[in-house]
Chain A
Amino acid sequence: MSENVAVIGIGHSKFGTRKDVNIAELCWESMKPAFETANLEPKDIDFFVVSNAGMWSSEAAVPALIAEYADLAPKGSMRVEAACASGSAAVRIGYTAIKSGMADIALVLGVEKMQESPNPNVIELIGRFGSYFWEFENFGLTFPAYYALHGTAYMMKYGATEEDYAKVAVKNHYYGAKNPYAQFQREIDVETVLKSPYVAWPFKLFDCSPITDGSACVILASEEKVKELGIDEKVWILGQGVGTGTANLSRREEFTSLASARYAAEQAYRMAGIDLDDPVKYLDGANVHDCFTAPEIIAYEDLRFCKRGEGYKLIRDEQTYIGGKIPVNVDGGLKSKGHPIGATGVSQAVEAYKQLLQKAEPGRQADITKGRWLAHNVGGTGHYSYVTVYGLEKR
């Protein structure tokens, strides 16, 4: 049993089109710096978990693949999948393994090599992260379309505009341009977003996160190990909540919010000792699941950064830039950093560590005064939601 669990090592590959490496090589690119920052070797790992949605890539037995490539055999492992929240599911497995006392040191790796398949195949496969039989088979819902149904409902109910959505993309590209690991490292303006072709109305090309190859890795340790190893640089997992939504969107009550994300946020806040009425007061910043622009705005509300129906005003007033009410996705978010499905949640953990320890690249370091960072990671369209709070001080 370990009351507290810390992130003691991190690694992040370059996200993007990675035709230059195979899956194992891409994994090692984030594993090596994770070992180095933790000052550990593969033999020190008790247990490891790999998040990988797969389907579009060739190797399915990724834990065994990296056990071989990185000398982790014969340690225990598993592969986990929770659609785009797979990475946070893996963090949860590592976290609970240590919390339960089954492991002292756990390695969590997220990896996706989506571009091993042609884009049309990826579009076909990614549409299946909902109800395959009732919503994909007959109506061909794509991943952007699932979220577009929410984007439309939100505009109709609250009067947000496509321009408001575009502003999310502009912000995330602004910070992505300052992140050397991001897929897109260039700033864009509102015009560029509005003029780009429709993918699923009201979303245009620049409202959408890209198809990405990438890996991210964190090493987790028990409180005892942190003491024993004399580790200075670490962040603690203060709380994590997880929720699940219905497979069919038609089985949901509303489309302007994700019930599973609200549920996960409440759990995480309670666990981390954060006031549900004013979480912003406790947080220096957040990463939220901006697979498209509208869901970032909906996330502001589900996470209680503002009242329901006022999320679009936060971006309109630039309150989620550094210096605003709460900085959000200052690593570029999924939108500009890229969204390698299985790696995204782990990448968010890497960012929490970097931000809290003030190791973010110039121009995108938030002010750290409260010592807490939040990660919000959604699989499917709220089919799975994870909210994790990281902190400099343990509870």
Chain B
Amino acid sequence: MDKMKEQVMKNMEELGFPVIVDEKSGALQWVDMRELRLRYFISIENIKPFYEGLKEGKLMGTKCKKCGRLFFPPQKDCPSCMDSDIEWIELKNEGTLETMTVVFVKPPSFGMYDPYPVAIAKLDDGPRILAWYNGDPQQVKPGQRVKVQVSRRKEGYLMYELVPL
């Protein structure tokens, strides 16, 4: 990448334009001068209890007071009842692993991590949860029991993960 930038600067000086020749095809490319960095502000105003719970090591979901439907990830409205009268409940933090992968080719924004296993487990309460699996993926057996625990990530924030039981 840096080598490419150097070449663009050189060409800009010599040829007058931010261009490079594509190595494989030999086709001339204009190198965009407008770079955009994306970072979103995502509202968690209505799911604050989820993060308060996580800080105490609890996995919180929402439950419709009317019909008892459980939601994870938590949501503040129940489409079954067209009602928003929900309560926050602590979900059972144990379950059974249903499937798994290990991400080897990572997005650049996860570049600081080694290949990471991701699993989906069905919690004993019913809802499913997707999270990193903090264990040896090679040792996983069908019906593997897991528990949800909270740990601090390299980025510095708290997040839930699945660990083998």
Q: Could you list which residues of chain A lie within 8 angstroms of chain B, going by C-beta atoms? A: 17, 19-20, 58, 118, 120-121, 123-124, 127, 131, 133-136, 138-142, 144-145, 148-153, 156, 197-202, 248-252, 255
Q: Is the CB of B25 within 8 A of A17?
A: yes
Give bound CA distance, A144 to B106, whole Å: 10
Quote the shortest CB–CB distance from A366 to chain B (angstroms): 33
Contact B104 A199 (CB under 8 A): yes
**Nearest CB of chain B from residue A149's CB, rounded to whole Å:** 5
Contact with A along B102-137 (1 / 0, CB 8 A): 111111111001011010100000011111100001
Known: A149-B101, A252-B128. 7 other contacts (CB 8 A): A120-B108, A140-B113, A141-B118, A152-B99, A199-B104, A250-B128, A255-B120
* CB pair B99 A255 closer than 8 Å: yes
Size class of the B contact interface (CB-based, 8 Å): 35 or more
The residue on A at minimum CB distance from B137 is A201
- Give B3 Cβ to nearest chain A Cβ, in Å: 13
Complex formed: what's the CA distance from A58 to B33 in Å? 12
A126 CA / B25 CA spacing, docked (Å)? 25
**Given A135-B130, A249-B130, A255-B120: A140 in contact with B103 (beta carbons within 8 A):** yes
Judge if B13 is at the interface, Cβ distance under 8 Å: no
Task: Kindly supply a per-residue 1/0 record for chain B positions 29-69, scoring 1 wherever the CB is within 8 Å of any chain A CB and 0 otherwise.
Answer: 10010000000001000000000000000000000000000
Residues of B contacting A142 with CB < 8 Å? 103, 105-107
Q: Are the C-beta atoms of A156 and B142 separated by less than 8 Å?
A: yes
Chain A's nearest CB lies how many Å from the CB of B146?
Answer: 13
Contact of A152 among B27, B42, B100, B132 (CB under 8 A): B100
* Interface check B77, CB cutoff 8 A: no
Let me know if B72 is at the binding interface, CB within 8 A.
yes
17 A–B contact pairs at CB < 8 A?
A19-B27, A20-B27, A120-B107, A123-B105, A123-B107, A139-B131, A140-B107, A140-B109, A140-B110, A140-B113, A141-B103, A149-B118, A152-B100, A153-B98, A201-B137, A251-B128, A255-B98
B105 touches A250 (CB 8 A): no
CB-CB under 8 A from A251, the residues of chain B are 128
Q: B6 at interface (Cβ–Cβ under 8 A)?
A: no
Residue of B nearest to A251 (CB): B128
Query: Are A150 and B99 in contact (CB-based, < 8 A)?
Result: yes
Nearest-CB residue, chain A, relative to B100: A152
Judge if B15 is at the interface, Cβ distance under 8 Å.
Answer: no
Which residue of A121, A136, A153, A250 is within 8 Å of B72 (Cβ)? A250
CB <8 Å contact, A134 and B130: yes
Query: Which residues of B are in contact with A by a Cβ distance under 8 Å?
Result: 1, 22, 24-25, 27, 29, 32, 42, 72-73, 98-110, 113, 115-116, 118, 120, 127-132, 137, 142, 153, 159
- Compute how far the CA of A58 lies from the CA of B159 in the bound complex, rounded to whole angstroms: 35
> Which one, A127, A138, A198, A252, contacts B107 given CB within 8 A?
A127
Q: Report the Cα distance A141→B130, complex, angstroms.
A: 10
How distant is A99 from chain B, measured CB to nearest CB, in Å? 31
Residues of B within 8 A of A123 (CB): 105-108
Chain B min CB distance to A248 (Å) = 6
Q: Given A124-B109, A133-B42, A248-B73, A200–B103 Cβ distance below 8 Å? A: yes
| Among A124, A131, A138, A153, contact of B99 (Cβ-Cβ < 8 Å) | A153
**What residue of chain B has the Cβ atom nearest to residue A118's Cβ?**
B1
Q: Which residue of A lies closest to B29 (CB)?
A: A19
Given contacts A17-B25, A152-B100, contact A199 B72 (CB under 8 A): no
Of the candidates B42, B101, B120, B129, which one forms a contact with A201 in the assembled complex, judged by CB atoms under 8 Å apart? B101
Could you tell me the distance in whole angstroms from the C-beta of A31 to the nearest C-beta in chain B? Answer: 21
Known contacts A250-B127, A250-B128, A250-B130; is A149 also within 8 Å of B107 by CB? no
Residues of A within 8 Å of B99, CB to CB, are 149-150, 152-153, 156, 255
Q: Please, which residues of chain A bring their CB within 8 A of the CB of B113?
A: 140
Of the candidates B98, B103, B116, B142, the one having the most CB atoms from chain A within 10 angstroms of its own CB is B103
Q: How far is the CA of A212 from the CA of B108 in the complex (A)?
A: 20
Q: Using Cβ atoms and an 8 Å threshold, which residues of chain A touch B32?
A: 58
Instruction: Considering the complex, give the chain A residue whose CB is closest to the CB of B71.
Output: A251
Which residue in chain B gives the minimum CB-CB distance to A58? B32
Instruction: Kindly list chain B residues whose C-beta atoms are within 8 Å of the C-beta of A199.
Output: 104-105
Q: Return B46 CB to nearest CB of chain A, in Å.
A: 13
What is the bound-complex CA distance between A135 and B120, given in angstroms? 11
Residues of B within 8 A of A249 (CB): 120, 130
A120 to B73, CA, bound (A): 29
**Interchain residue pairs A-B with the least CB separation, the first 8:** A148-B101, A140-B110, A153-B99, A124-B107, A201-B102, A250-B128, A19-B27, A19-B22
B83 to chain A, nearest CB (A): 19
Who on chain B is nearest to A136 by CB?
Answer: B107
Say yes or no: B100 contacts A19, CB within 8 Å. no
